[in-house]
Structure 1
Amino acid sequence: MPEGDTVWRTARDLHQALAGEPLTRCDLRVPKLATADLSGRTVTEVIPRGKHLLTRVEGGLTLHSHLGMDGSWRIDAPGGLRRGGQGPDHQVRAVLANTGHTAVGYRLLALDLLRTTDEATVVGHLGPDLLGPDWDAHKAVRRLLADPGRTIGEAVLDQRNLAGIGNVYKSELCFLLRVTPWLPVASLPDPARLVTLAKKLLEVNKSRPARITTADVRPDRRLWVYGRAERPCRRCGTPVLVADQGPAGQERTTYWCPHCQTGPTPPAT
């Protein structure tokens, strides 16, 4: 699931493959960009911003993309799509190529072409970026506490508070802090610790091929609770619980240990 660390690695790979070279092919497969063509323009840089990707090209233009829940960018060999790719051809939303590489965007949630000076229209609402040069821990804490009654799970997923946390890190952070995701933010003994821990987890994972929160690299031991419904808690052996959390229509699957984590829980548990 793409979160801030995944987006950071994606931006790094796209920058290495595309920056400094003119595009020999540009195929943007969304209706509003059907006539747009960046061929001949040099990619100047690709940068991450929370869960967003900004591909800047000469002439003051930026191609903005968002991976959503299951989107991805993959680097293929020159000349076309890698056999098999990351999905069928109808799931391709963008193709950017130069003489050395072809970057293919699959199942992208958003794809926009705008002036670089207008990037704030798509990322200006974001809070401090956990992996960005603008990281400001104090500002992130202030934003989290601006709505003190909001649950931790919902608050950390709100990219206006701090940018980069997704559903996996939400559950893992709450486990490591030993609180349930339904605890109000104001009830956290030390909100700054949440922010510090979130920063640490994304930093240590941004260059890894697999996300690890347990310090155990074995494939079946990498996460504490996420994806482990009804399986024993790694710390105490109690079955991990799962429930939806969030406003109607925006619910996110949430995992927690009822023994290791204290605080409110959903009515059905």
Structure 2
Amino acid sequence: MPEGDTVYHQASALRAVLAGKFLESTQFRVPQYATADLSGELVEEVLSRGKHLLIRAGETTIQSHLKMEGIWHVYPRNGARWKRPGHTARCVLNTAEHQAVGFSLGELHLMPRTSEDSFFADLGPDLLGPDWDQDEARRRLQAQPERSLGVALLDQRNLAGIGNVFRSEICFLSRLRPETPVGEVADLDSVLEMSYRLLQVNKNRSRRATTGSASTAISLWTYGRAGKLCLRCQTPIIRYYLGEEQLRQAAIEDRSVYVCPYCQPARV
């Protein structure tokens, strides 16, 4: 499931082949930008902002969001066969040596670079950004103390980069039920520090891991392990749904949470 670490990793791969290169041809396979052409523009930068991937070419920014199924692939310009069906390609960027293709992108926008600040005005501090601000993230979370921690962590307006996998893992490692109100979390800073460490350690990994090493057979504590035994206490992991309808409509992604009922005791 694409989260902040996945987007960071994808941006790094695209940066390696696009940054400092001129675009020879471009295709934007969405009606709104079907006639757009950035041929001849220099790609100055490729970066991630939370779950958004930005490609800055000339005076234009190409913004994409992977949502559930999106992915960027890089191919050599020698006619290499795409690994995804052609009809799922939404963006094709060609340089002299490489081809970058965005498949099944949940969002794709072209905007003037001067519009970036307004486009991302509501986005919270980026856990993988150079200007990560834990104090601001705490302030935003505490502004709605009645909200459940699990829902608040997913809201990109509070802090950017956490998705459903990290939400479950952060709550487990913090020994908190996801439905615990933010106002009842005794040490919110430790939750934020845990969030920061998990995304930082995974940003350059091809396989996400929260249990220590990505090479271990089981790389996650709870997510996707309903009915299986907790790695700490051997209690079966349970799964249930947690979310707000507004957030469910805003982003198509799984809203299930995975919990160890012993390590994360229910509130009395």
Task: Give, in angstroms, the shift of residue 264 of structure 1.
Answer: 4.4
* 2:179 corresponding residue in structure 1: 182
Find the partner of 1:262 among 258, 261, 265: 265
* 1:100 corresponding residue in structure 2: 97
C-alpha separation in 1, matches of 2:63 and 2:109: 5
* 1:27 corresponding residue in structure 2: 27
**Segments of 4+ moved more than 4 angstroms:** none
C-alpha separation in 1, matches of 2:175 and 2:159: 21
* 1:122 corresponding residue in structure 2: 119
Task: Give, in angstroms, the shift of residue 208 of structure 1.
Answer: 1.1
* 1:211 corresponding residue in structure 2: 208
Letter in 1 for 2:73: R
Residues 67, 108 of structure 1: 8 Å contact kept: yes
* 1:66 corresponding residue in structure 2: 65
* 1:9 corresponding residue in structure 2: 9
Q: What's the secondary structure of 1:150's corresponding residue? A: coil
Residues 46, 55 of structure 1: 8 Å contact kept: yes
C-alpha separation in 2, matches of 1:262 and 1:136: 30
Task: Give, in angstroms, the shift of residue 44 of structure 1.
Answer: 0.7
* 1:54 corresponding residue in structure 2: 54
Q: Could you report, residue by residue, the CA deviation over 1:142-187 in whole angstroms, capped at 9, with x for unpaired residues?
A: 1111100100110000001000001000000000001111111111
C-alpha separation in 2, matches of 1:227 and 1:264: 23
Q: Which runs of 5+ in 2 are unaligned?
A: 249-253
Give me the identity figure in percent. 48
Q: How does 1:35-184 map to 2 (within 5 A)?
A: 35-58=35-58, 60-80=59-79, 82-85=80-83, 87-184=84-181
Task: Give, in angstroms, the shift of residue 248 of structure 1.
Answer: 3.4
Q: Which moved more, 1:114-123 or 1:143-152?
A: 114-123
C-alpha separation in 1, matches of 2:50 and 2:230: 30
Letter in 2 for 1:145: Q
TM-score between the two structures when normalised by the length of structure 2 = 0.94
Q: Which moved more, 1:121-130 or 1:90-99?
A: 121-130
Q: Which runs of 5+ in 1 are unaligned?
A: none
Q: Could you report, residue by residue, the CA deviation over 1:218-259 in whole angstroms, capped at 9, with x for unpaired residues?
A: 453110000001111111111100111112371601101111
Q: What's the secondary structure of 1:119's corresponding residue? A: helix
C-alpha separation in 2, matches of 1:63 and 1:218: 34
CA RMSD of superposed structures (Å): 1.5
Residues 182, 263 of structure 1: 8 Å contact kept: no
Matched, 1:230 2:233: no
C-alpha separation in 1, matches of 2:214 and 2:7: 21
